[in-house]
Amino acid sequence: MITAVYPGSFDPITNGHLDIIHRASALFDKLIVGIYDRPDKHMLFSLEERVALAKGATASLRNVHIKSYSGLTVDFIRKEGGKIMIRGLRMNSDFEAEFEMASMNKKLAPDIELVCLMASCEYQCLSAKLIKEVAKLEGSLKGLVPKHVAIALKKKLSQGYLEAPTEEASHRNKISL
Ligand code: ADP
């Protein structure tokens, strides 16, 4: 049985993430979506909320499990009995950061293999960060996030929660291991 782990911050889960989840779950026996609790980075949703939103989006996928973790991603993958790390690659924006992260992870855990799935054309320009911008400006999120995520975003933003990541924090987002 091959277990793969798809780690990320998922703040919140988008249709781009879900596309990767659907495709990876068809390739492996078990897919664990690892939601990273990043205490050093400002998140719009709490860890519990991000987990709940991801669970709501993947309930119909029997071999997909949503879990949270802290610490090194490779340690989490090992703890879950995983052999494969899944990442999604969008054109231009992701390659360098993923390459850097993959090189370090290979040093830390040579037994874990990275599998990158190319983002589907319709989701190439979709990021959780952009989704939050659109939601803040009250644009339509149709086709970009599941309905319950759009509702949660609307509710959160109406409560006055605004994400204001520093440049340093968004850089950290790209290189966290
Ligand atoms: P984001 O980059 O949207 O903030 P995460 O940090 O949660 O998302 O990323 C988790 C993984 O999902 C990363 O490998 C990232 O490249 C990938 N990913 C994010 N958005 C997409 C998308 N639209 N299509 C494919 N993969 C994506």
Reported as a pLDDT band with limits 50, 70 and 90, residue 162 is low
DSSP per residue, 123-164: GTT--HHHHHHHHHTT---TTTS-HHHHHHHHHHHHTT----
Cβ < 6 A, ligand 1 pocket: 8-10, 16-17, 20, 87-88, 90, 94, 119, 123, 126-129
CA 13 to ligand 1: nearest atom: 7
CA of 20 relative to ligand 1 center, distance in Å: 9
| pLDDT for 166 beyond 70 | no
Which of 10, 14, 20, 32 maximizes ligand 1 atoms within 8 Å of its Cβ, making it the mutation to test the pocket?
Answer: 20
Share of the chain above pLDDT 70, in %: 90
- Domains of the chain by start residue, with CATH: 3-124 (3.40.50.620)
Beta bridge partners of 7: 34
Predicted confidence (pLDDT) per residue in 50-102, tens digit: 999 999 999 999 999 999 999 999 999 999 999 999 999 998 778 999 999 99
Residue 67 tokens, joined: 């879990």
Reported as a pLDDT band with limits 50, 70 and 90, residue 167 is very low
What's the CA gap between 18 and 21, in Å, rounded? 5
| pLDDT for 170 beyond 60 | no
- The one-character DSSP state at 15 is H
Reported as a pLDDT band with limits 50, 70 and 90, residue 121 is very high
Going by alpha carbons, the residue nearest to atom 26 of ligand 1 is 88
pTM of the entire structure? 0.91
Beta bridge partners of 118: 89
Instruction: Give the amino acid at 78.
Output: R
More confident residue, 105 or 91: 105
Tell me what pLDDT residue 38 has.
Answer: 80
Residue 87 tokens, joined: 């990442």
CA 120 to ligand 1: nearest atom: 24
Average pLDDT, the chain: 91
Residues 34 and 67: beta-carbon distance below 8 Å: yes
What's the CA gap between 103 and 152, in Å, rounded? 36
What's the CA gap between 128 and 58, in Å, rounded? 17
Going by alpha carbons, the residue nearest to atom 2 of ligand 1 is 127
